[in-house]
Amino acid sequence: MKTWIPDSRQFAYLTWKQVDALPREETLLILPTAAIEQHGHHLPLATDTLLNNLLLGRALTHVPADCPMYALPPICYGKSNEHIGYPGTLSVSATTFMAVVRDLGASLHTAGFRKVVLYNSHGGNTSLVDVMARDLRAEFGLRTFTLFGSPGASFDTVSEQERTYGFHAGEIETAFLLHATPELVHTDQYTSHYIARVEEPELLKPEGSHANFAWLTRDIAPSGVMGDPVAATAANGERWVNEAAQRIAEILLAMYRFVPRHDA
């Protein structure tokens, strides 16, 4: 899998003796969680994993070299059953996903580490990541943090419709990969579907409100795209990646320096 994470930040590139020498009370370890799933006719199955790696890798270049912060190998397989029925989607159950995160947390705890970030780039994992952050804190005493997506990116040219309902393989994800891996974007295969329209407000929403309806991609989008990639450009993708990377670096440093109130 292509990576943008610097070699010096790859936890798996260390020997066990090098790991043993780390300041384990201080070291911040980042566990990426993503997916391998359909992204329409124009984007690769690895889109969520590539974007996680891209954003995290760029962010880590902004972290001071003497700060002990490392990326763990990603959990590439996520809870992707919203994309069931599309060839290539590789989904695990909620139980399996949470068990893997729990067992990795146990390994980190046994090794003496105290700080871990769950950095997620797949919407289907979001609620599970929230659950596991609390569970890792409760079971192992790990100082656990969560981080999602691309905070800090302005998406300033994106329409309200796309910003609200461009969930999957739309303008933003396409722009990111046009910048980072243009050879993997099939620009002659764009399709567009939306789960809802901002100008037609409904009482029940697809997500993010007090009253939601459950959905599967095949209910909405025969091609697998929820959004419209047509307006995507590599230039916007580069700008948004840089904006997000700066902000993610700031957040990671805040997590590294975090001291809880009441010494909890």
Average pLDDT per block of 10 residues along the chain, 264 residues long: 97 98 97 98 98 98 97 98 97 98 98 98 98 98 98 97 96 98 98 95 90 94 97 98 98 95 66
Q: Check if the beta carbon of residue 114 is closer than 8 Å to that of residue 143.
A: yes
Is 104 within a domain? yes
Residue 46 DSSP code: T
Amino acid 207: pLDDT: 87
Look at the chain and report how many structural domains it folds into. Answer: 1
**Is the Cα dihedral 212, 42, 52, 240 positive or negative?**
negative
Relative orientation angle of helices 171-180 and 234-257, to the nearest 10 degrees: 90
Is 7 within a domain? no
Is 263 within a domain? no
Is 1 within a domain? no
Q: CATH number, domain at 179?
A: 3.40.50.10310
Instruction: State the residue range of the domain holding 45.
Output: 13-257
Nearest to 30 by CA among 73, 1, 88: 73
Is 3 within a domain? no
Q: What is the dihedral of CA 39, 44, 45, 47, to 10 degrees?
A: -80
**Is the Cα dihedral 101, 106, 108, 114 positive or negative?**
positive
Calpha distance 97→82 (Å, rounded): 15
Chain centroid to CA 142: how far? 21
Amino acid 261: pLDDT: 79
Map tokens 């002990």 to a residue.
68
User: Phi, psi (5° rounding) for residue 70?
Assistant: -135, 145
Is 53 within a domain? yes
Is 223 within a domain? yes
Is 2 within a domain? no
Calpha distance 14→115 (Å, rounded): 18
A 10 A CB-CB count for 197 gives: 11
Amino acid 201: pLDDT: 87
Q: Check if the beta carbon of residue 152 is closer than 8 Å to that of residue 158.
A: no
Across the chain, how many H-helices and E-strands are there?
8, 4
Amino acid 263: pLDDT: 61
Calpha distance 140→231 (Å, rounded): 46
**The Cα angle at residue 244 between residues 167 and 197, in degrees rounded to 5:** 25
Residue 74 DSSP code: P
Tokens at residue 77, please?
Answer: 């397989």
